[in-house]
Amino acid sequence: MRTREAHDLSLDLVRVLDDDHKARGPWNPDIDASELQVALRWMLLTRIFDERMLQIQRQGRVSFYIQSLGEEAISIAQGMALRPDDMCFPHYRNQGLFLYRGTRLIELFDVPVPVQHAGHVQGPADADHVPQSQCQHVRSIFRQPRHPVPARGRLGDGSRDQGRGQHRGGMDRRRQHGGSRLSPCHHVRRVPARCFNVVNEAVGDSALPGCAAATPAVSRRAASSRRPGVRVDGNDLLAVYAVTDWAAERARRGGGPTIIEHVTYRGGAHSTSDDPSKYRPKDEWAAFPLGDPLERLKQHLITEGHWSDKDHEKLTEELRAEVTGAWKEAQKYGTMTDGPWLDPATMFDDVYAETPEHLEIQRQQMLALEE
* pLDDT, tens only, 14-55: 999 999 999 999 999 999 999 999 999 999 999 999 999 999
pLDDT at 272: 84
* pLDDT, tens only, 319-333: 999 999 999 998 888
**Within 10 Å of residue 32's Cβ, how many Cβ atoms?**
9
pLDDT at 219: 57
* pLDDT, tens only, 61-98: 888 888 899 999 999 999 999 998 888 888 788 999 99
pLDDT at 283: 77
> pTM, whole model, 2 decimals?
0.76
pLDDT at 321: 98
Q: What is the mean pLDDT of residues 253-281?
A: 86
Q: What is the mean pLDDT of residues 339-350?
A: 80
pLDDT at 200: 86
| Cβ-Cβ contacts under 8 Å for 313 (sequence gap 6 or more) | none
| Sign of CA pseudo-dihedral 91, 97, 98, 101 | negative
CA angle 301, 306, 311 (to 5 degrees): 90
Does the bond joining 340 to the residue before it have cis omega, within 30 degrees of 0? yes
Yes or no: say if 53 and 117 are a contact pair by the CB < 8 Å rule: yes
Tell me what the pLDDT averaged over the chain comes to: 76
DSSP string, 130-160: SPSPPP-SSBPPP---SS---EEEEEEHHHH
Q: Cα torsion at 357, 359, 363, 365 (round to 10°)?
A: 80
Say which range, 97-101, 177-181, 303-307, has the weakest mean pLDDT: 177-181
Per-residue confidence at 224, pLDDT binned at 50, 70, 90? low
pLDDT at 211: 42
Per-residue confidence at 165, pLDDT binned at 50, 70, 90? very low
Rounded Cα distance, 357 and 175, in Å: 34
pLDDT at 322: 97
pLDDT at 177: 41
